[in-house]
Amino acid sequence: MTTVKTRIETILQESFTPEKLEVINESHQHAGHQPGFDGEGETHMRVRVVSAKFIDMSRLQRHRAVNDALKPVLDAGLHALAIEAAAPGEPTRW
């Protein structure tokens, strides 16, 4: 069975041909935020991606592009997605 992380990585590789890509499962950090949620699984993910396709795109445009690409994963039940997108050469905090 394919993990959510692997699906996200595959989709983003195909959509953006990134020079850097990191997908981080942050679900454990959200344990107890909702009744019955113990932080297990892959419900909260962070994406860090550097791609030439983001050149001349605003932050909002980049987020929309990533969300559009990952719509099947979101529709399948991904609860939260944090996006850190940059073009090559732009400073990042990571």
Nearest 5 degrees, angle CA 68-CA 40-CA 84? 35
Chain centroid, CA 12 distance in Å: 8
pTM: 0.85
**Measuring CA to CA, which residue among 6, 25, 26, 16 is closest to residue 69?**
16
> Which element (helix H / strand E) includes 3?
none
pLDDT band for position 14 (cuts 50, 70, 90): very high
35 vs 66, more confident = 66
Q: Which helix (H) or strand (E) holds 83?
A: strand 80-86
Q: Per-residue pLDDT tens for 30-42?
A: 444 554 544 456 7
User: Which domains, and CATH codes, for the chain?
Assistant: 4-86 (3.30.300.90)
3-state secondary structure of 78: coil
